[in-house]
Amino acid sequence: MAARSAQEQGAAPEELEIPIERLATGGDGIGHAPDGRVVFVPRTAPGDRVRARVAETQKRFLRAELLEVLEAGPGRVEPPCPVFGHCGGCSWQHLDYAAQLEAKTQALRDAFERLARITPPADLRVHACPEPFGYRGRARVVVEGGVVGFRAAAARDVVPVEGCPILAAPLDAALGELAEKPPQDAVGEWELALGDDGAVRIHALSVRGGPKVALDAPGTDTRLEVSPGVFFQANAPLRGALGEAALEAMGTGSRALELHAGAGFLTLGLARRFSSVVAIESHAEAVRDLRETLHAGNVRGVKVERARVEIWLARARRSDFEAVLLDPPRTGLPRGVAARLAALGAARIVYVSCDPATLARDCAALTQHGYALAALEGFDLFPQTAHLEAVAVLERG
């Protein structure tokens, strides 16, 4: 049934005064209306008492807009960004970092217990980012109408900015320079990227080509080169720890398979641990980057195939891969792919995910094909937002 606003129902928007009990997985605060329905209110904190206006009515829940914080909860802080609440980037700058980590740990636990019916480890941990601000080494901004900014939270409008507190200092400075003199000849998305060698790239994504940035590959003394528009983990202080954890979980052996290999952030480390690696990636520029990095580093034993993972798996047969490493997009595995992945017969699957809900769903599917959850841990690659990276290890029983 389609959602209906109070205006559509011919009634004045209802106002509520409610306490906020906890945070939802998506980041909104959760309270309850007098009739018992759940109320989702953005930019609220556990322990807040708020006045909110109902914006959307459903049979079992309401969505409301925050009007006023009547009483602040213990985890509420003053957001440092002047456009917080308007910009679509951050949703949790009003929460202290300890509260963010607690909420993310609970969200990861809930995803497995409630969605997957899998018991997570009792000592489930989310690794904190060493720098909750100034951590981001890659971002996209919009140049439009003579301004530079980020997309608004609930619209396609551009929110003008001159700086961003979650960007690493060199990128924050680059954003300020770009905003001071907005480009006139290349509108649309621009990418700001920081290499591990300190080099800054500012590039219009409408322009093909452009300089690469160099990133340290975890588990190696090698750097990979990444082209404009090619994905890499943006959290400069914590991505290395994430990579090391995934590689450690893979162990060592003869043959490994990597799905959604990207530009090779984890591939180079796998090549140190396994005699033979097959890396699957669909993005043409990422494949080109990976092959060039392997060639430049004289890395042997890696076969790179450009293919969509679901299509490659549909053609694959039971194999001698000892372990599989996958890092899919936020949507997780397409329908039916978990069964095809399990059919390969690998003893271990290491799943890197940026969405606890789809991770839990896919792990549940894999447990239907002989696997069991052996380990799970989170990595807070996205402070000031509700997003969370996690690594799950599944082993065949």
Q: Could you say which of 81, 87, 129, 354 is catalytic?
A: 354
Q: Which amino acid is located at 23 in the chain? A: L
Token output for 256: 């490994």
**In a 3-state reduction of DSSP, which class is residue 347?**
coil
Residues 249-261 as b/e (b if ≥16 CB within 10 A, e otherwise) read bbeebebbbbbbb
Beta bridge partners of 279: 258, 304
Largest CA distance in the chain: 69
Residues 6+ positions from 322 with CB-CB distance below 8 Å: 251, 253, 254, 255, 256, 274, 346, 347, 348
Token output for 392: 């799950």
Residues 6+ positions from 11 with CB-CB distance below 8 Å: none
Residue 129 designated active-site? no
Residues 233-244 as b/e (b if ≥16 CB within 10 A, e otherwise) read bbbbbbbbbbbe
Distance between CA atoms of residues 293 and 198, nearest Å: 19
How many other CB atoms are found less than 10 A from the CB of residue 371?
22
Distance between CA atoms of residues 60 and 28, nearest Å: 16
Token output for 119: 């018991």
CA nearest neighbour of 256 among 292, 219, 223, 213: 219
Distance between CA atoms of residues 187 and 206, nearest Å: 8
CA nearest neighbour of 293 among 232, 336, 347: 232
Residues 6+ positions from 298 with CB-CB distance below 8 Å: none
Distance between CA atoms of residues 50 and 71, nearest Å: 7
Distance between CA atoms of residues 92 and 44, nearest Å: 9
Catalytic residues: 354
